[in-house]
Structure 1
């Protein structure tokens, strides 16, 4: 007698409930710590006055080069400005440049990758040869060249970093589009007479943008690092802007006499890059099923 009871398989849809969040208990300690660091930096960028109420631009020659203490947790610089306030207020500049550059690079790279991967033929060949030429140059060198052409400043640094990162995202999107185009549901949609641009928006784009969002979290850290490097070289915001790279450059000449001027901005920049990279790698591992 045939058993007509429905067979329970692993492909059944998951239900939202307490078990759906049981994986959160297995989050590694390093990932949890990186998440807390990122949350703190976001709070510094959004509400700097609550965390550091002192004016980051206020000069006080009577308090110049003060070592870290209860009154000045990170000490003061050569002009008597509070380092802690300047570091906290500098988070808004670094994070805004990193997020803005990554957003522009992902958007333009997504458009270029979609066009190259879906068009194919001569269009794909032309786009990829241009991308190969741009990828031959280091990203920091490309950013410096763009800043030299369009000028200094926070906005120009943001655009320069975005332009340097576009080829990398475009190549990733193009390779993902080529994989999705060969899937069965895309071929079935085209056979059934669905328009190509509808298939592109309905099937190809959703399956391409997911991995790209995960990979963009890794790009935020590299964009922040490039921003600090450009500011350190004098190509970013102008003094007295409390930007981490600029503060590193200002504290370079005081490392023996007042090490705290350059050390604390460097620590914050390092924590930002490491934390965003850890979160990005963990999200990528989750998307690949390896976490």
Structure 2
């Protein structure tokens, strides 16, 4: 009956949060990414305070107005304020990208640990299915799933989550294959603890670090995928202020009204770049092998 405390005592001790924050702060590029992303998130949260316009309000008399004090990023083809639409669009693009990766990482962690722990036919069936998904290019498969589910921002998020799951399954499985040979897992098995309890209490907590690292790196990619699906008409539908949908319409006017597609592209670039910088910093902190 004394197994559980003993088993848990031999597990790797988690790194203190203060130590993680200290290491992240020492990485200047990570802090630059955090500042950029923080400014964009705060601007999106306080959008009603920062701009007096409705993101979907049509003002045909002021269409295609250039950047000015009244319209910082100009207006679009129906007179909507582009700065306002970008701020409200950040809620969609950033929020749905993060949610998609959280769904993929959570499902992948569960499936991967089960596959690695039980092995045998269960492992073979799961991994061959994941290999089939990975055989298709991510964007092509996401497009096919989004088209099959129907064009909408929610379906685009689901499609991206589904195509990202195999990556996390493989990561969690590889960690589980080594962890199941560890002393604390062998001890738990000897004392008759049920497999799913071992997975939940011992395997998953020790497999989560590589999943977190991959997740921080994948959020930027997910945001780009959501924008791409929106650009292709498979994501957000008009008049939703989503960056990809704005670029899809705006690029047609690039030569005459450069500000229309430029500013959504700029915010998309800054968000994806900031998330990649943060992901690199998290990887350096949580994965000691990356600094060697």
Q: Does the alignment reach a TM-score above 0.5?
A: yes
SS in 1 for 2:174: helix
Q: CA RMSD in A?
A: 2.3
The offset of 1:108, in angstroms, is: 1.3
Give the Cα separation in 2 of the matches to 1:169 and 1:15.
Answer: 22
Task: Find the counterpart in structure 2 of residue 27 from structure 1.
Answer: 27
Report the Cα offset of residue 169 of structure 1. Answer: 1.0
Q: Is the 8 A contact 1:135 1:167 kept in 2?
A: yes
Which position in structure 1 is the counterpart of 2:6? none
Deviates more, 1:236-245 or 1:226-235: 236-245
Larger Rg: 1
Q: State the partner residue of 2:5.
A: none
Question: Which residue matches 2:63?
Answer: 64
Q: Which residue of 2 aligns with 1:265?
A: 264
Larger relative contact order (Cα-Cα within 8 Å, sequence gap ≥ 6) = 2
Q: CA deviation at 1:220?
A: 1.0
Aligned partners of 1:226 and 1:168: how far apart in 2? 16
1:122-201 paired onto structure 2 within 5 Å: 122-201=121-200
2:57 counterpart SS class = coil
Q: Counterpart of 1:86?
A: 85
Q: Give 1:95's aligned residue.
A: 94
TM-superposed deviation, 1:96: 1.9
For the residues of structure 1 that align with 2:274 and 2:48, how far apart are their CA atoms? 23
Contact persistence 1:113–1:174 (CA under 8 A):
yes
- Distance (Å, rounded) in 1 between the aligned partners of 2:268 and 2:143: 20
Deviations 1:222-258 (A, max 9, x none): 1111000000001111111110000001111100000
Q: 1:24 to 1:175 in 2, by over 3 A?
A: closer
Are 2:51 and 2:84, in contact at CA under 8 Å, matched by a contact in 1?
yes
Aligned to 1:244: 243
Cα distance change of structure 1 residues 20 and 151 upon mapping to structure 2, 3 Å threshold: closer
* SS at 1:66 equivalent: coil
User: 1:51: which partner in 2?
Assistant: 50
Separation in structure 2 between the aligned mates of residue 105 and residue 24 of structure 1, nearest angstrom: 25
Return the TM-score normalized by structure 1.
Answer: 0.89
Separation in 1, partners of 2:131, 2:98: 25
Change beyond 3 A, Cα 1:14–1:285? closer
When residues 258 and 14 of structure 1 are mapped into structure 2, their CA distance, relative to the original with a 3 A threshold, is closer
The alignment covers a number of residue pairs equal to 278
Return 76-85 or 48-57, whichever deviates more: 48-57
> 2:7 maps to which residue?
none
Instruction: State the Cα distance separating 1:195 from its structure 2 match.
Output: 3.1
5+ unaligned residues in a row in structure 1: which ranges? 1-12
Residue segments in structure 2 that go unaligned for 5+ positions in a row: 1-12
Distance in 2 between residues matched to 1:19 and 1:246, nearest whole Å: 41
TM-score by length of 2: 0.89
Question: In 1, Cα distance between the equivalents of 2:230 and 2:14?
Answer: 48
